[in-house]
Amino acid sequence: MPSLKTIRKRITSVKATQKITKAMKMVAGARLSRAQQRIVSMRPYALKTREILDGVAAAMAAKQTDQEYRAEGTVEAMHPLLARRPEKNVLLVVLSGDRGLCGAFNANAGKAAFLTWRKKTDEGAEVRIATIGKKGRDYLNRRRASVSRDFPKLYDGLDMSKAASVSDWIVAQFEKGEVDAVYLVYNEFKSAITQQVNVEQLLPLPEPPPAKEDALRPTEYGFEPNERVVLERLVPMYVEISIYRALLESQASEYGARMTAMDAATRNAKEMIGRLTLQYNRARQAAITKELMEIIGGAEALKD
């Protein structure tokens, strides 16, 4: 059995750890509240941008028989970011965190990216990986999935300009033909307890799901000066907004995962302190009983 001094040291150590985990939980909770507000505000804007983009693409497709579009041949030819090519070169953009102590948040994103990398590689594609977040980069490097580009410290003071820097690099890679498809791997924020890993195609623009028979007719838009000019501005903006949304989703998910993990660690520390205190009291009682037995034994020996 450990000595009383050893048990006291362990109790003191666990109490110190409990203070740290409790403080980290409170900090993550405060940051989560702000991050959640940002992502809730951003989602409708991102979804509406995609809806308008689909509307523009549909309008252009409907006019392909017109002389204005006949020379172009396809809607994809109207903008280089809509070009569909065989996926010989694929770019994975993996979003994770820069710090640990957030449960399985980083591991889930890294695992999804690794499985996607292996799947695309088995299909014969050459896969390049760009990482946002130190933990995802380290996870993939350990598994020999080489990372060709890393964007460090992007979450510090996260804003649209930082998302634009990533977007400009991705757009340049796609327009040059160095990659044929771009996928985002990130954690989508559901709640402080639940985060869902998404592998989402960013470029080229995914085909919209088929409309249901009883669905309302899509909104019809008027374009000025024409659909092509709107599309040239809308497609890069959609890429930028999608990356910014994924960054906000990942950041909120990290805070939620950290708050949940630190809450569990705090409760575990409390239980451990209770067990150690009980063990200490038992050891102390055993030591007292032993001393009493030695005193009584000595007294009895003197009587003889």
Catalytic positions, written as ranges: 102
Map tokens 């990290």 to a residue. 254
The rounded distance, in Å, linking the Cα atoms of 88 and 36 is 37
- Nearest alpha-carbon partner for 181 in 197, 167, 163, 201: 201
Q: What are phi and psi of 214, to 5 degrees?
A: -95, 10
Q: Are 49 and 236 in contact (CB under 8 A)?
A: no
Order of all β-strands in the sheet with 181-189: 149-151, 126-132, 89-95, 181-189, 195-203
The rounded distance, in Å, linking the Cα atoms of 187 and 243 is 12
SS3 243: helix
Map tokens 């030695």 to a residue. 294
Q: Per DSSP, what are the bridge partners of residue 93?
A: 130, 184
Q: What are phi and psi of 132, to 5 degrees?
A: -125, 105
